[in-house]
Structure 1
Amino acid sequence: MATMGIRLRVAVFGLLMVGIIYYLYTGVISRRIATLRQRRTVDLRELLALSVEAAVRGGREVKRIREDNVLEEQSKGKTKEGASEKLTLGDMNSHKKMYYLIKNTFPYLQVNSEEHDNTREETAVWDHLIPADIQQIGDGKEVPAEDVTVWIDPLDATQEYTENLLKYVTTMVCVAVNGVPVIGVIHKPFTEYTAWAIVGWGSNVKARASYSEKSPQFIVSRSHAGKVNGFIQTAFGNNTVVHAAGGAGYKVLALLDPTDEKYEKADVYFHITYIKKWDICAGNAILKALGGHMTTLKGEEIDYSGSEANNGGVLASISVDHQSLLAKVRSAEKQLAEIK
């Protein structure tokens, strides 16, 4: 009996100690988790500098693969317009450079890329140096990491890339906070030109001195220029000039002050069908920083959280009455429905 009593007391003591240790351990863990959550913020100025670096590194791969002529071209299927959706080694190598640089620097950020792969590039690191032009925008701003979504397009205008129409090709990074685009980077790898902006602080690009209000020129996708041209001329007049071009990034740059080369200049970027958010987020942020607009064809702001799809089309402009543009689009709504 004495032995049983001792054993019982030992067992009770043991359970008590386990309980105390568990309580202390879980308390420590909880405090550590809370501390980590408090620390999980990101500086937007740092994230802008990282985004520029990611776009440039991805662009180097895009350029190298094209110059070495080792595209390893494949088809991912058909686009909504029925065109072949290309995939190349340039897309994939650029994705790895961009995606893992951002994820290795800020592993707790949500990063959405057009491409996916099953390998990791552990060596992608960033030195945290802020370029002088980005330093000049002022002190950074901390935002909760859980509010941030990063959208990357490792190679915009892949079709044109395979056709060697290299002026259309860009790599892009966008940072959205609570679904609102605040950082945009568009990099042209074949001319090594980079446009960037951060809403509320500044940019290294600017709007043109003037835009045509009465007879704006439009820029649209090469893949469905014929259908869109008819709709635009119905909505805006038979003499409306429509430029067809590749790449959403290129089309946004066509609205800005001339950059590194001669290219189509437009007053309005118009897209009538489904488009992915990594195609348009960076351009949206840049336009927003310059006082411009990018909305759906119904005038809705595009939410850059959640799903990758934007089904509402795109209407983008700077220093042109955006509401007037939307009104003309709505007046041609019946024909728009027939086109779709």
Structure 2
Amino acid sequence: MAPMGIRLSPLGVAVFCLLGVGVFYHLYAGVLSSRLAAFRQRRTVDLRDLLAVSLEAAQLGGIEVKRVRGDNKLEEKSKGKTREGANELLTMGDLQSHRKMFNLIKNTFPDITVNSEELDKVVDRSVAWSRTIPLEIQNMIKENRDVPAESVTVWIDPLDATQEYTENLVKYVTTMVCVAVDGKPVIGVIHQPFSRITAWGFVGEGSNARPRSSYNINTPKVVVSRSHSGKVKSYVRDAFGNSTTIIEAGGAGYKVLSLLDVPTSEAGSIDQADIYLHITFIKKWDICAGAALLNAVEGHMTTLKGEDIDYSEIPLNKGGLVASVGVDHKAILQRLPSWDPEEH
């Protein structure tokens, strides 16, 4: 007897095909879903790791800053002038530091936004994080803290106080990294390459710096810019009186350190101030790290009107700034004369 064949009606063929498509769809959807879940998981950032990377980046940049200065091959040139007419300088120290700092952070965390003072297209895939978390960070910050990568903006200043760097006034020079989450400064690192001072702070978690034991805001010492001062001296005296001591210094990072007790035996090389004031425009890579560091020790950095500064996108802060720690910040703001940096 001839073997029996299986014959499917057109309807049976259609049902079979539909079932096959359904099975394939569910299999594909499951694979796609798992891949999307993994992708979403990869797009988070552990802020404790990012603090360690920021610390390493600032110190790596500092090595380049010292090397270029020691070789005396600055190759300085002007990027233009500020609104006050001061030269904005660029040196090989700025560029080489940028290349190390920017590439280290982007190679480690490719999904986050990194803004640097220097615009440079050199890509160096060989710059890699050591995967080391310093003991002082491990001891202070016990747990990981994950945030979405798209919420993170990193601001780096590869060489703060370039003018002073060219004049060999190296105590003012710093390299800085700031991590902002949803526009709020959360992690700040300020490193002094020539004195081996590295101060860091993580808001809500801790810092290796702290406020000094006392401050005087009745007749304060006010630190201001030596190269972008504008009319700040008369402004300070109008606010606090003619007996106010005004300290002219280079670099926003240095000025923030002057408000703090920093972790080093060489701290005597840093001036001690009670208030930091700036009344002209200033870039956010200059001030974000200081803002985070101060916030981590319950200090403040605001505009002259007392407004918080957003660190998400636009690089220019047009509201001036006043910074303090260990004192009543609102009391300082109340003594400041009305001033609009955009009109001066």
Give the TM-score of the pair, scaled to structure 1. Answer: 0.89
More helix by share: 1
User: Is contact 1:81-1:223 (8 Å) kept?
Assistant: no
Shift of 1:26: 7.5
Structure 1 234/57 Cα, relative in aligned 2: closer, same or farther at 3 Å? same
Aligned equivalent of 1:142: 146
Paired with 1:188 and 1:238, the residues of 2 have a C-alpha distance of 32
Distance 1:163 1:295 in 2: 30
Which amino acid is 2:233 matched to? N
Distance 1:37 1:162 in 2: 46
Offset of residue 205 of structure 1: 1.1
Mapped to 1, the partners of 2:58 and 2:209 lie a distance apart of: 16
Aligned to 2:54: 51
Which of 299, 302, 315 is equivalent to 1:295? 302
| Structure 1: 4+ residue segments shifted above 3 A | 17-31, 336-339
Partners of 2:55 and 2:317 in 1: how far apart?
A: 25
CA distance in 2, matches of 1:64, 1:85: 21
Say whether the 8 Å CA contact 2:188–2:292 is kept in structure 1: yes
Deviation at 1:338, TM superposition (A): 10
Q: Deviations over 1:225-244 (max 9, x none)?
A: 36101011012111111111
2:106 to 103, 107, 110: 103
1:27 deviation in Å? 6.9
Query: What amino acid is the match of 1:153?
Result: D
Is contact 2:218–2:240 with CA below 8 Å preserved after alignment? Answer: no
Which of 323, 338, 343 is the matching residue for 1:333?
338
Residue 38 of structure 1 deviates from its aligned partner by: 2.9
Conservation of the 8 A alpha-carbon contact between 1:55 and 1:173: yes
Q: Does the alignment pair 1:88 with 2:95?
A: no
C-alpha displacement at 1:166, in angstroms? Answer: 0.2
Equivalents in 2 of 1:210, 1:37: separation in Å? Answer: 47
1:233 counterpart (234, 237, 247): 237
Measured against aligned partners, the alpha-carbon deviations of 1:315-334 in whole angstroms (never above 9, x if no partner) come to: 000112111111111xx216
Where 1:243 maps in the other structure, the secondary structure is: strand
How far apart are 1:148 and its partner, in Å?
A: 0.9
CA RMSD of aligned residues (A): 2.3
My pick for the range that moved more, 33-42 or 51-60, is: 33-42
User: Which whole-Å CA distance do the structure 1 matches of 2:65 and 2:22 have between them?
Assistant: 58
**1:316 paired to 2:319:** no
Letter in 2 for 1:313: G
CA contact (8 A) 2:280 2:341 kept: no
| Alpha-carbon offset, residue 80 of structure 1 | 2.1
> Structure 2: any 5+ residue segments left out of the alignment?
1-16
Q: SS where residue 185 of structure 2 aligns? A: strand
Classify 1:20/1:48 alpha carbon distance in 2 versus 1 (closer, same or farther; 3 Å): same
What are the superposed Cα offsets for residues 139-197 of structure 1, whole Å, 9 maximum, x if unpaired?
Answer: 22111111111111000000110110000000000111111111110000011211111
Give the structure with higher Rg (CA).
2
Structure 1 residue 63 and structure 2 residue 52: aligned?
no
1:206 and 2:210 correspond: yes
Deviates more, 1:224-233 or 1:85-94: 224-233
| Deviation of 1:263 (Å) | 2.8
Structure 1: gaps (5+ residues) = 1-13
Q: Residue 292 of structure 2 corresponds to which residue in structure 1?
A: 285
What is the alpha-carbon distance in structure 2 between the residues aligned to residue 248 and residue 64 of structure 1? 22
- Deviation of 1:129 (Å): 1.3
**Deviation readout 1:18-38 (Å, 9 max, x if unpaired):** 999799768744642342113
Q: Which moved more, 1:317-326 or 1:151-160?
A: 317-326
Report the Cα distance in structure 2 between the residues aligned to 1:177 and 1:201, rounded to whole angstroms: 15
1:42 to 45, 48, 63: 45
* Structure 1 segment 123-202 matched on structure 2, within 5 A: 123-137=126-140, 138-202=142-206
Output the amino acid matched with 1:106. Answer: F
Bigger mean CA offset, 33-42 vs 108-117: 33-42
> Contact 1:157–1:168 at 8 Å: present in 2 too?
yes
Work out whether residues 274 and 324 of structure 2, in 8 Å CA contact, stay in contact via their aligned partners in 1.
Answer: yes
Secondary structure in structure 1 of the residue aligned to 2:54: helix
Q: One-letter code of the match for 1:333?
A: S
Could you say if the C-alpha distance between residues 254 and 22 of structure 1 is closer, same or farther in structure 2, counting changes exceeding 3 Å? same
1:25–1:113 distance in 2 versus 1, CA, 3 Å: farther
Q: Do the aligned residues in 2 keep the contact of 1:227 with 1:339 (CA within 8 Å)?
A: no
Which range is displaced more, 150-159 or 250-259?
Answer: 250-259
The match for 1:247 is: 251
Q: Would you say the 8 A contact 2:160–2:175 is kept in 1?
A: yes
Contact 2:320 2:341 in 1 (8 A): no
Question: Compared with structure 1, are the counterparts of its residues 338 and 145 closer, same or farther at alpha carbon in structure 2 (3 Å cutoff)?
Answer: closer
